[in-house]
Structure 1
């Protein structure tokens, strides 16, 4: 095909555009007020992870002396670093404006976030007592002047950079000393904000209003207590934060276990190279320069002026204060139609397939499946993949219970699940101690598939049951991430699923699959084959379309395949939550492609792929996005949907999402996150999807 200018959107820039959509939610006045504050927290948390992973990668390429153009989609690494910094500074400025606006609106609701200068005498007594009993024992304070080398600051921890201007005649521990040099009149310190204490401290009130002080300001209020031994004229405190490269450096020592290597690598993150230095833009110039010199910040690091408060990710946990009117109306999880949690789930699955669509449906079906497998005398073995588990996971408890009941339990646990390594190491050690057989993956590949297989003895033969999901087996995220889980006893599908688990143990043997689409060997080629079939049908004048829903599309080979389909008249509808390197609507390249992103109260996490197949749709769910890492460097599983009712359900809920004209943004060449607006009745797809399932259940109940 002829080269078109801007054939792809740069991946990093597209990711920043996604985070801008999250920021739009914080700005949207139709979103409940406290939820808007929490979206600001999500925006900040996303940005932290972006710098730890994506920006760190760009920086490594730049420092290597290579351009990185092949990896970065045509952009030069150093130029891209500058573009990222510029965009992030603009976004941070916008986020501070939004935060200021939200605080004013909170005040109208009787909720006041005050700082250390606004504390009254009654609140001051409470703060001092709170500080002495809870905060002071947890504080770590570093005096900088006498240190030739500063201790490594923790990744993403927030610190108050304190400057004391001393009196010329300083009295310290009973010794009077005349200080003549102006520089010696200054003493610098860092106070780490404890992560073990809630960031938002609710203060007592006599007027019926809510008063909250942030832990940072509570510490500022008590600086005199912290530095009481110093005879200073003035003291000031400004927040700073360092973000470090999160890439794991895996030890090659053969004498260490894989768990030991990952554990050591995770600890190494705390001393890895800094990639971002954020500071309060009101900090004094001399203090800032002192810190930059002392910390060894260089021109290759992204130095970003920010507001008074960092680690705004903590707003994700802003207290509800009993104000349900300022929160989303609850969506109680619904039952899966015809699938009763009280009876035997295996008996129902033996009759037909069922689809759980969390969070619209209760996640309890996954727990019910595992608990029943743990108790059922006929069950011989349970195999499961683990990528991210919840704290106090019922999934892990069910597996341990199964072992205690004599079942053979095998868990493939991914120790390198980004930012969940420590939790997974703890679970691995716990499961191993209880007798669960653990598999730690395949060299060079992450196991990202979400699968479970149960073997049950029925009438002297082994019958298999299982589930295949687009998301993690995590009770916490299942309340906010949208994900499909297919429960099935389709023996041919489950025969393929057994081959996947066999591959974990004998990775030298590459299996062939009749039904499942498995990375790294078959996902890319299978989807390209399905796309080519649509092209052939379009050329033959037959119906041809493709509908996809995923988190991201960054693999240029898949983008090119869709461009080719578009040029041949295949109509393509794409719902992509996050990064989209494809540009829709370009004449001669992608005029038959439309793409939207839906960002709303739930995180869209489902992966759905629909191919017209001459009006006999082929429908798949998958754990894989169309990213190079999912296609080539991970074990992923996609599953065909054969049940006609479930196929219909998936197509109908896709259509609901596609019709969204409230929370859908349009992907275009401008990358301006324009909301899709039209003259049709408003459709807010997540709310409409909940209503869709509510109506289904009401119909079955005869209402």
Structure 2
């Protein structure tokens, strides 16, 4: 049967709408000014990754001479590339206006982000010294007229292209126009804080500081004038894994990550003020073709650096900081395992402290009764207490097994480094399952109690990463439920002997069971709706793009099942269409924290089923990854999950309505204002009061 693509929103275009919601936060006047700049940085970083991966994939399809319509939701690859480029150009223009507005508003608060034309004599002396002492030694400058081959530009690095007009009497160069390339060093903070003057704070971007000091680089030449403009290139970041059987997977992936540095260019961003001669020179030398996305931008690129805008001591420019709360009944001072032996606990970071997870591993590493630890790792913090806890356990004689996903995109190098460290310390490291990414987040330990093995563990919706746990919202279940943990242990057995497909009665595990299990749960709601029994579906996801799953949800809607979905990112489902999806409502929340948990709630005839999961409803999560959805049996935790979902659903401050219009309209009603992330923190604060 021919697929009717009109029933879906294109995945790539839906993602661009998600990034537009991030840009909305940058534009929102109720958001503190420095946080608005942070959202601009997130918007820019998101866009970089989009071009490296999704745009690059579409471009590969186009260059292969294929239409790609079946893979790309009915749109030809070439047409989709054009659509993306036009949307991105418009979004980039909007982002430039927002930056200008924010910088003007910062001045009203005594914070001046100045450029090289605004530098005072006093500041000039400070900048000159700073440049000579710290910047000049770190600069890489290349005279392009003098090299036979144009240098390979680093992916997403920012460069200043300098055009030098030589004086008539110059005898060094054969051309009157000399081009140079200066790489903006990453070893120096992008924002340089200048000495304060009274109540005024001054900040200059490193780019402008270098512009001001160009003379100290080129004063050995007899030039008439200098001008500098910024450029940036984004490269295809898809990994091509070598098929050489004589190499280990670690070797192959290491080489592939290195090759990424010279991947084909997929986007070229330049300062739109650059003169045509310089732009033509660059495009010709770099081999940038019409098929590449050429984006005219502003004066500054790599705006992801705005995520680290400096704090000059003015508190109201940033969000108020809240300390992560304790989990009622679960103490950090005593034994965590002793508490978990008696009941399950739910941790909801960053509202509650991620330290419990590290405490669990630290305790397991020291406890003589603990004999083994097994854990999955997808993304670790740059300096990881998780990794040190694992190594500590091995040094204490535990049998430690780590399943580490080497192909966690953009964290490959970090994961390779950690894998090598762990191997060196004697940890048993598993590098996944052929053809499958391991995306599940789980840990299980074996402890000897009264001569028997008793298991303890945790299952999470997010990475075991103490850095991202400060800004990503995620659920983690701590449990000693032996039935659940026996099945978590089965997943680890599958990692090692993956030709045997395990059976599960409690967990829902991808790639073998998730699709059909979710279909069956939806079908139960359809049958209950037809019989007049209690029914309903509530989902919280990062993304929904699998067409077959969307069709099943459409089927449920047609049967009268009420479906509520909170989807942060991609949503290819079109809600609210009569005869297809009139019983489906979808909202997206973008706020201070990144909404990351996956939660499935099925009414099940009045006996609701609750699952927390690592899996979104995307084809990759259902079919080509190892994922775990864990049932929640504890009634108190079920209520907690329902409460936090309901708080999010009531959001009428930061929630946007997903609709056919794709206009990111804010959810508006006459009810009291509910900003869900603030309300959720207050919810857990009240739970502490109740339990005191």
When the two structures are superposed, what TM-score results if normalisation uses the length of structure 1? 0.97
> Which of the residues 185, 196, 201 maps onto 1:205?
196
8 A contact 2:370–2:447 mirrored in 1? yes
Rounded to whole Å, the distance in 2 between the matches of 1:558 and 1:690 is: 33
Equivalent position of 2:76 in the other structure: 76
What is aligned with 2:85?
A: 85
How far apart, in 2, do the equivalents of 1:473 and 1:522 lie?
Answer: 24
Q: Which of 655, 658, 677 does residue 649 from structure 2 map onto?
A: 658
- In the alignment, structure 1 residue 497 sits paired with structure 2 residue 469: no
Choose from 670, 676, 682 the match for 2:673. 682
Q: Give the conservation status (yes or no) of the 8 Å contact 2:45–2:303.
A: yes
Please show how residues 225-264 of structure 1 align to structure 2 within 5 Å.
225-264=216-255
Residue aligned with 1:31, SS: coil
Query: Which runs of 5 or more structure 2 residues have no equivalent in the other structure?
Result: none
Q: Deviations over 1:301-332 (max 9, x none)?
A: 00000000000000000011111111111121
CA distance in 1 between partners of 2:461 and 2:666 (Å): 27
SS of 1:442 mapped into structure 2: coil
Give the corresponding residue for 1:574. Answer: 565
Name 1:10's counterpart in structure 2.
Answer: 10
Is 1:473 matched up with 2:464? yes
Secondary structure in 1 matching 2:511: coil
Instruction: Give me the whole-angstrom Cα distance separating, in 1, the residues matched to 2:199 and 2:132.
Output: 27
Task: Report Cα offsets for 1:109-150 as digits up to 9, x if no partner.
Answer: 000011111111111111111111111111111111132321
SS for the counterpart of 1:249 is coil
**CA distance in structure 1 between the aligned counterparts of 2:137 and 2:240, rounded to whole angstroms:** 34
Number of equivalences: 692
What is the rounded CA distance, in whole Å, between the counterparts of 2:32 and 2:629 in structure 1?
37
Query: Residue 268 of structure 2 is aligned with which of 261, 277, 282?
Result: 277
Shift of 1:6: 2.3
Residue in 2 that maps onto 1:150: 150
Matches within 5 A, 1:52-201: 52-172=52-172, 184-201=175-192
Give, in whole Å, the separation in 2 of the partners of 1:378 and 1:167. Answer: 80
CA contact (8 A) 1:171 1:230 kept: no
Q: Does 1:310 align with 2:301?
A: yes
* Corresponding residue for residue 342 of structure 1: 333
Alignment-derived partner of residue 360 in structure 2: 369
**What's the secondary structure of 2:604's corresponding residue?**
coil
Distance 1:618 1:493 in 2: 15
Change (3 A) 1:2 1:260: closer
| Aligned residues of 1:517 and 1:637 also touching (Cα < 8 A) | yes
CA RMSD of superposed structures (Å)? 1.1
Pick from 406, 409, 414 the counterpart of residue 423 of structure 1.
Answer: 414
CA distance in 1, matches of 2:2, 2:526: 19
Partner of 1:37: 37
Equivalents in 1 of 2:219, 2:248: separation in Å? 49
How far does residue 3 in structure 1 lie from its aligned partner after superposition? 7.5
Distance in 2 of aligned mates of 1:324 and 1:641: 40
Please, which of 450, 455, 469 is the counterpart of residue 459 of structure 1? 450
Contact 2:5 2:74 in 1 (8 A): no
Q: Distance in 2 between matches of 1:255 and 1:228?
A: 53
Aligned counterpart for 1:529 among listed residues 504, 517, 520: 520
Following superposition, the deviation at residue 541 of structure 1 comes to 1.1
Measure the CA separation in 1 of the matches of 2:491 and 2:183. 47
Residue 474 of structure 2 corresponds to residue 483 of structure 1:
yes
Number of the residue aligned with 1:437: 428
Aligned to 2:587: 596
Say if 1:572 and 1:306 are closer, same or farther in 2 by CA, change over 3 A: same
What secondary structure does 1:243 align onto? strand
The SS at the match of 1:337 is: coil
Whole-angstrom CA distance in 2 between matches of 1:66 and 1:409: 47
Could you tell me how far apart the structure 1 residues matched to 2:27 and 2:572 are?
Answer: 26
Q: Distance in 2 between matches of 1:647 and 1:307?
A: 49
**2:588 is the alignment partner of 1:624:** no
The match for 2:278 among 262, 287, 293 is 287
Q: Report the secondary structure of 1:170's partner residue.
A: coil
Map Cα deviations across residues 396-435 of structure 1 (whole Å, 9 max, x no partner): 1111111111101000001110000111111111111111
| Deviation for aligned residue 1:254 | 2.1
- Alpha-carbon distance, 1:4 to partner: 6.3
**Alpha-carbon contact 2:525-2:535 (below 8 Å) kept:** yes
Residue 208 of structure 1: how far off its partner (Å): 2.6
Contact 2:267–2:295, Cα closer than 8 Å, also in 1? yes
Q: C-alpha deviations, 1:268-303, integer Å up to 9, x for none?
A: 111010000000000001100110000000011000
Structure 2 residue aligned with 1:638: 629
CA distance in 1, matches of 2:320, 2:203: 24
Q: Which runs of 5+ in 1 are unaligned?
A: none
1:249: how far off?
Answer: 1.2
**Whole-Å separation in 1 of the counterparts to 2:587 and 2:6:** 19
User: More deviation in 137-146 or 414-423?
Assistant: 137-146
Contact conserved, 2:472 with 2:596, CA < 8 A, in 1? Answer: yes
Question: Helix, strand or coil: the match of 2:197?
Answer: coil
Secondary structure at the residue paired with 2:270? strand
